[in-house]
Amino acid sequence: MTQKQISKYNSKIPPTWCKGCGNFGIFTALKAAFAKLGFSPDDVCLTYDVGCSSNMADFLNTYGFHSLHGRTISTAIGLHLAHHQFPVIAIGGDGGIYGEGVEHLIEAARGNFDITAIVHNNFLYSLTTGQKSPTAQKGSKTKSTPFGTLEVPFEGLKTAIIHDPSFVARGYALEAAHLTNLIVKGVKTKGFSLIDVLQPCVTFNKKQTPDWFKKRVYKLKKDGYPKKEALKILSQDPEKLAIGILYRSDRKAYHEHLPQLKDKPLIKQSIEKIDIGKLIEEFI
């Protein structure tokens, strides 16, 4: 993939992330995935949370909606149901998607809505300068936990897998080519796709550095595993971080159950024959 092929997805604003931030790798992988999928900048819509990850709203030249904190997935589901033939990708961090927005993650997996969620997982709230997030390891010392985090980390991938969505994977921000393929496969999959991306925050996370990840990250060999095995891979030694496709299911996507959407998306349907008069009368 050449620089020229992916530069059309750059907005006029250059990224403002810190030098060496893992967000650059995810940004590159996303653009390369769009090029591989044959998307023009107006063929895809991204929704954004609040955080360093979601500052990407300013840097990427596609349709986009910068939502509230924790609301990137719910916004993506709304957009998707209005136009289910249009690809929608929800961007957010571990704080927004596994913390404030965790209920929406569970709903997306339960309903198997045909969207892709990409979690920039750096174990911290970095935009607010380094407080522990839901994925912070037990004992980790952060600005908000100077004596060590007391809780065990939230397991986003396991939570998704037990609710049986179509696609669950983990990537690593500094393995951009590998991540590109995960994004391509996730977007192509019908149903909910969750891609958790391990991401160094070089400014505030002095433990999970690129060197730390290098010793722990390894690639899975298969294109998905049975549920029990996928959960086992995620329950192994925490010093081993598997990346690749963990789980796939062939469950129908939410909109495929709805006869109203069989012929065309909601936004392409005529509202002329819809009479909401009776409904309004109930409120008068």
SS3 string, the chain, reads: CCHHHHHCCECCCCCCCCCCCCHHHHHHHHHHHHHHHCCCHHHCEEEECCCCHHHHHHHECCEEEECCCCCHHHHHHHHHHHCCCCCEEEEEEHHHHHHHCHHHHHHHHHHCCCCEEEEEECCEECCCCCEECCCCCCCCCECCECCCCCCCCCCHHHHHHHCCCCEEEEEECCCHHHHHHHHHHHHHCCCCEEEEEECCCCCCCCCCCHHHHHHHEEECCCCCCCHHHHHHHHHCCCCCEEEEEEEECCCCCHHHHCHHHCCCCHHHCCCCCCCCHHHHHHCC
By CB under 6 A, residue 204 contacts ligand SF4: yes
Binding piece for ligand SF4, criterion CB under 6 A, among 4-12, 200-208, 215-223, 240-248: 200-208
Q: Pick between residue 62 and residue 126 the one whose CB is nearest to ligand SF4.
A: 126
Pick one of 18, 162, 220, 261: the residue that binds ligand SF4 (CB under 6 A).
18
By CB under 6 A, residue 122 contacts ligand SF4: yes
Give the per-residue contact string, 71-110, with ligand SF4 (x = CB under 6 A; - = no): ----------------------------------------
By CB under 6 A, residue 35 contacts ligand SF4: no
Q: In the complex, what is the shortest distance from the CB of residue 88 to ligand SF4, in angstroms, rounded to a whole number?
A: 24
Give the per-residue contact string, 124-143, with ligand SF4 (x = CB under 6 A; - = no): --x-----------------
- Residues of the shown chain interacting with ligand SF4 in the complex, contacts defined by CB under 6 A: 17-18, 21, 23, 52, 122, 126, 201-204
